[in-house]
Every structure is written in C-alpha cells, then in structure tokens.
C-alpha cells in the first residue's frame, strides 16, 4: 500500500500516471494547498519542502519509506517495480538526464509561465515574455529529442511520464504546438494510454474552478522562511 499525498497539478499527475501504469495499490490523501494543508506538521514530516506530491511506501523493503519530490518518487517506484526505467547503465543514465531536465527546466519554466498567465495581478510583460520564451525553448529541446523517436528514450519510461503533463497544458499557457510536430505527435500518443487518462482524471473534482480568493492567495503565494517559521 502507498499513501499518495496529492493535489491535481502536473507534478501530481506524473506520479498518478506511474502508480496507475504499475498497477500499485494506493490511497489518495488530498492536500488542499489553498487551505494550507501543506504546512501541517504531519505533512512536513513527509515533505519538508511543503509541496506535493509525496508518498509513503509501506511495501518497500525497508518500509514504510516516505519520499518527496516528484522526480525522486518516480525513480523510487521505477527501481522498486523494475519498470519504466532501462536496466542498462546507459539507459539509466539517459533516464536520469531527461528526468532531471524536466524537474530543472521544463517544469519550472512552465510553472512560472502559468503563474503570470493565471495568477499574477496586473500586467507583467517582461516576466510573461521571459517564461514564455523559456517554455518555448524547452519545447524545442524536446522537439529535437523526439525527432525519429516514438518516446524520449527507446521505450516509454518515467522520462515521458515526467514531461508529458507539462506539455498537456500548452494551450492554456498560450503556446501552440504548430512549430513542434514531434512534440504534438508524442503528446497525443501518450494521451491515449488508459493509465495516463486515469492518472489525469484522479481527483478531478478537486480542481480549481475559479480564481483563488484573497485568503487562498495569502496561503499560496509570497511565502518566505519567516512566514513558514510562524506557522504552527
């Protein structure tokens, strides 16, 4: 059994997809980020960065094992199940390269762009262009990688699961895929996988249907170390 601390975001989706692909038994524990659940001591004991997703794996060899950060969770599950990561040294190396590329490049750039598209009040032309350009650049990197390839590696892997949710959201971020035909083809092929559909649908009822309230904005944004130290 795995406890899956979750809120429906691209980072949450990629772990949900892996859990579904592996057929692992798990139970969802929603962490409402607008309400501040991520700052509760019991969650911080599992995820000290107060971010989702996180898991507690009760079936690991030395379990129960808490794991935080989506990339680390994907590696943990791939190594425990022996699935979706090549067994060769070169294959593992390439998996980690593309996984770290996603968590250090594609995800953060898309996430910051999403903030200025969806949440930042007022007009921020420099910030919007900065992150829109970086997101576009990352899509170009992925486009080159997928040239002549069905997937990021030789076979479908956690590298695809990590990047795909951040490409799923291109339309609301204002980034057409017309100039990235390889990415568009890859995006659509993965979208058709049943486990991917189940992962993205997980917690559909929890998704935000309106802009955050002022109270939610105070919880979600502009946190500092001092703010966190003052929380119970």
Is 163 or 218 the better-scoring residue by pLDDT? 163
**26: enclosing H helix or E strand:** strand 26-30
Map out the domains of the chain as residue ranges. 2-83+208-229, 89-197
Average pLDDT over residues 50-54: 94
- 204-214: pLDDT as tens digits: 888 776 677 77
8, 202 Cβ separation under 8 angstroms: yes
What pLDDT sits at residue 79?
96
Q: Is this model's pTM higher than 0.85 or not?
A: yes
Sign of the alpha-carbon torsion through 9, 106, 103, 191: positive
Question: 67-81, 187-201, 218-232: which range is least confident on average?
Answer: 218-232
Looking only at the bridges linking them, the beta strands covering 26-30 and 54-57 are unpaired
Residue pair 14/164 in contact (Cβ under 8 Å)? The answer is: yes
Once rounded to an integer, what is the mean pLDDT over residues 177-184? 98
- Across the chain, mean pLDDT equals 93
Distances (CA, A) of 17 to 74, 89, 104, 153, 197: 10, 25, 20, 17, 8
Average pLDDT over residues 33-52: 92
The CATH number given to 2-83+208-229 is: 3.40.30.10
pLDDT of residue 33: 86
Question: In this predicted model, what pLDDT tens digit does every residue of 96-137 receive, in sequence order?
Answer: 999 999 999 999 999 999 999 988 878 899 999 999 999 999
Tokens of 137: 């650049």
Question: What's the confidence (pLDDT) of residue 46?
Answer: 96
3-state helix, strand, coil in the chain (%, to 5): 55, 10, 35
Question: Burial of 91 by CB count in 10 Å (0-12 exposed, 13-18 middle, 19+ buried)?
Answer: middle
Decide: residue 96, CB within 10 A, 0-12 exposed, 13-18 middle, 19+ buried: middle
Residue 43 region by backbone torsions, left for phi larger than 0, else alpha for psi between -120 and 50, else beta: alpha
Q: For residue 30, what are the β-bridge partners? A: 6
Class for domain 89-197, per CATH? mainly alpha
Q: Give me the mean pLDDT over the 193-215 stretch.
A: 85
CA 29 from chain centre, in angstroms, equals 17
Residue 231 pLDDT: 63
- 218 vs 128, higher pLDDT: 128
DSSP for 86-101, written as a single string: -SSHHHHHHHHHHHHH
Q: What pLDDT does residue 212 have?
A: 77
Confidence grade of residue 232 (pLDDT, cut at 50, 70, 90): low
Which pLDDT score is estimated for 148? 96
Residue 224, classed as helix, strand or coil, is: coil
Cα dihedral sign for 183, 188, 194, 200?
positive
CA 145, 187, 119: angle at the middle one, nearest 5? 105
Q: What is the DSSP letter of 39?
A: G
Q: What is the mean pLDDT of residues 45-52?
A: 94
54 closest CA partner among 66, 62, 37: 66
Q: Which residue has the higher pLDDT, 4 or 210?
A: 4
Top mean pLDDT of 9-18, 31-40, 209-218, 223-232 is at 9-18
Q: Higher pLDDT residue, 35 or 219?
A: 35
Of 192 and 32, more confident: 192
Both tokens assigned to 80: 């425990």
Q: Among the ranges 30-34, 55-59, 201-205, which has the highest mean pLDDT value?
A: 55-59
């Amino acid at each position: 059994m795995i406890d899956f601390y979750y809120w429906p975001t691209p980072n949450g989706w990629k772990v949900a997809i892996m859990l579904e692909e592996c057929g692992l038994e798990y139970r969802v524990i929603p962490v409402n980020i607008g309400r501040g659940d991520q700052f509760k001591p019991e969650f911080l004991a599992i995820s000290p960065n107060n971010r989702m997703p996180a898991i507690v794996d009760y079936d690991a060899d030395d379990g129960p094992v808490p794991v935080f950060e989506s990339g680390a969770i994907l590696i943990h599950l791939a190594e425990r199940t022996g699935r979706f990561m090549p067994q060769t040294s070169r294959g593992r190396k390439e998996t980690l390269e593309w996984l770290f590329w996603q968590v250090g490049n594609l995800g953060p750039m898309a996430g910051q762009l999403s903030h200025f598209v969806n949440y930042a009040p007022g007009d921020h032309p420099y910030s919007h262009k900065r992150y829109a350009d970086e997101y576009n650049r990352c899509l170009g990197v992925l486009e080159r990688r997928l040239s002549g390839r069905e997937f990021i590696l030789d076979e479908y892997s956690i590298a695809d699961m990590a990047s795909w949710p951040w490409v799923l959201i291109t339309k609301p971020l204002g980034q057409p895929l017309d100039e990235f035909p390889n990415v568009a083809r890859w995006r659509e092929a993965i979208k058709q996988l049943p486990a991917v559909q189940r992962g993205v649908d997980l917690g559909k009822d929890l998704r935000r249907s309106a802009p955050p309230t002022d109270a939610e904005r105070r919880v979600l944004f502009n946190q500092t170390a001092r703010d966190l130290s003052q929380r119970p």
